[in-house]
């Protein structure tokens, strides 16, 4: 009897890549002419990124710089959950972005539902903040990955631990 093959679907990003992108964006802010004398900054606090600037225009530019650096480092922009622009002390603007760490239960259920809708002979099991897909044929597992990539899910995910 052939052993089942499996892989996991996780929703985590590389923290070091996020940190490197923040450092690159901060370096660019300090060298750009339009940010000369500005108090624009990007802070990393746990799973959150906090952007602050003098006004919403500079905050928007700051966000574009950060998103560019993240995408160049291979971090999916779907992994960021942007909050509303808030006004802070001194007339400055601030915006928070929560970095995704794991799949939520709704996201995991959505993935399982999509996999069951394919009709392939695979089993999907939610295990905490990840989903394990197992089946007898590796071709079926690859078809599941292809199906999920085509679905263009509104959140970040990646297949790992393929055996």
Tens-binned pLDDT, residue by residue, of the chain (163 aa): 356 888 888 988 889 999 999 999 999 999 988 888 888 899 998 889 999 998 888 899 999 999 999 999 999 899 999 999 888 777 789 999 999 888 888 889 999 999 998 888 999 889 888 899 999 988 888 899 999 889 888 888 888 887 7
Contact 140, 120 (CB under 8 A): yes
The phi, psi pair for 130, rounded to 5°, reads -145, 165
- Report all structural domains of the chain as residue ranges with CATH numbers, in order of start: 5-12+103-160 (3.30.70.860), 15-99 (3.30.70.990)
Q: Which helix (H) or strand (E) covers residue 53, if one does?
A: strand 48-53
Residue 2, pLDDT score? 52
Find how far residue 46's CA is from the centre of its chain.
15
Residue-level pLDDT at 18 = 92
- What is the pLDDT at residue 69? 95
pLDDT score for 13: 87
For residue 72, the model assigns a pLDDT of 94
Tokens standing for residue 156:
């970040």
CA distances from 5 to 1, 9, 162 (A): 12, 14, 8
């Amino acid at each position: 009897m052939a052993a089942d093959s499996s892989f996991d679907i996780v929703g985590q990003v590389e923290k070091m890549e996020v940190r490197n992108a923040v450092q690159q964006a901060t370096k660019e802010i300090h060298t750009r002419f339009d940010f000369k004398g500005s108090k624009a900054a990007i802070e990393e606090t746990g799973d959150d990124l906090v952007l602050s600037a003098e006004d919403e225009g500079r905050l928007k530019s700051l966000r574009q710089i950060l998103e560019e650096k993240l995408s160049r480092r291979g971090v999916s922009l779907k992994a960021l959950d942007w909050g509303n622009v808030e006004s802070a002390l001194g007339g400055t603007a601030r915006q928070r972005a929560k970095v995704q760490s794991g799949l939520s239960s709704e996201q995991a259920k959505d993935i399982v539902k999509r996999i069951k809708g394919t009709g392939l002979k695979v089993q999907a099991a939610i295990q905490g903040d990840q989903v394990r897909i197992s089946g007898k044929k590796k071709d079926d597992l690859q078809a599941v990955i292809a199906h999920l990539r085509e679905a263009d899910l509104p959140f970040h995910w990646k297949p790992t631990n393929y055996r």
